[in-house]
């Protein structure tokens, strides 16, 4: 059970309903449990929805596939069940298995970069940073780092609030394995 329940859309204030409509139209996205919870504070909702334009910039830099994998690596390293499941859905829907990804060395470096930022609170080794800085411009690096920070903020919000995983994601939850399986 979520620590803060999402706002019901039909009982939301007019300002929240307008913000929801703007978001749906601008991002072609649904109002999820996280978004409806953020709507308790409209400025928080608006700030977090800036994730969408930033993600579009990341997709322009990395490509659609690697951008999703980058976000997945950050969310997994942040131990965020909700966001990990969301990006697991994207990976599975594209026909890949998140547990058996086939990655180039460059793709691995991007994923190591993302997970290291989350795991080590941004205190990453020079080698991890430099692997990407050799390939991407300063503007692109700022975009990637800023997106990682936004993704981590989203992970933290969902973890603290214990946002319930939306019903449409249930079939994408990772399989549960027995401790006794070999």
Mean pLDDT (the chain, rounded): 96
- Token digits for 163? 């946002």
- Token digits for 13? 């204030």
H-helix segments, the chain: 14-27, 33-38, 42-48, 51-62, 64-77, 81-93, 105-119, 126-133, 138-161
Q: How far apart are CA 154 and CA 152, in angstroms?
A: 5
| Residue 55 or residue 10, greater confidence | 55
Distance (Å) of CA 71 to CA 80, 115, 141, 167:
11, 9, 15, 21
For the chain, the straight-line distance linking the first and the last C-alpha, in angstroms and rounded, comes to 32
Q: How far apart are CA 66 and CA 103, in angstroms?
A: 10
Q: How far apart are CA 136 and CA 138, in angstroms?
A: 7
| Residue 152 or residue 175, greater confidence | 152
- Please state, for a pLDDT cut of 90, what percent of the chain lies above it: 93
Contact 131, 113 (CB under 8 A): yes
pTM for this entry:
0.94
What domains appear along the chain, each with residue ranges and CATH number? Answer: 9-49 (no CATH), 51-172 (1.20.1290.10)
Residue-wise pLDDT for 63-92, tens only, equals 999 999 999 999 999 999 999 999 999 999
Confidence of residue 103 (pLDDT cuts 50, 70, 90): very high
Residue 173 has pLDDT above 70, yes or no: yes
Q: How far apart are CA 139 and CA 47, in angstroms?
A: 21
Contact 35, 44 (CB under 8 A): no
Contact 140, 54 (CB under 8 A): no
User: Which residue in the block uniquely carries the two structure tokens 């993704």?
Assistant: 151
Confidence of residue 181 (pLDDT cuts 50, 70, 90): low
């Amino acid at each position: 059970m979520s620590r803060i329940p999402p706002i019901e859309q039909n009982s939301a204030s007019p300002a929240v309903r307008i913000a929801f409509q703007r978001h749906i139209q601008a991002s072609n996205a649904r109002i999820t449990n996280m978004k409806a919870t953020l709507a308790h504070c409209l400025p928080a909702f608006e700030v977090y929805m800036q994730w969408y334009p930033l993600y579009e910039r990341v997709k322009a830099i990395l490509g659609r596939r690697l951008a999703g994998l980058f976000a997945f690596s950050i969310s997994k390293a942040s131990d965020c069940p909700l966001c990990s499941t969301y990006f697991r859905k994207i990976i599975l829907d594209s026909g890949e298995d998140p547990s058996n990804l086939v990655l180039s060395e460059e793709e691995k470096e991007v994923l190591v970069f993302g997970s290291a930022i989350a795991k080590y609170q941004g205190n990453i080794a020079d080698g991890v940073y430099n692997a990407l800085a050799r390939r991407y411009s300063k503007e692109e690096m700022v975009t990637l780092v800023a997106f990682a920070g936004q993704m981590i903020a989203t992970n933290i919000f969902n973890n603290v609030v214990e946002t319930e995983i939306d019903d449409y994601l249930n079939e994408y939850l990772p399989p549960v394995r027995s401790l006794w399986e070999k």
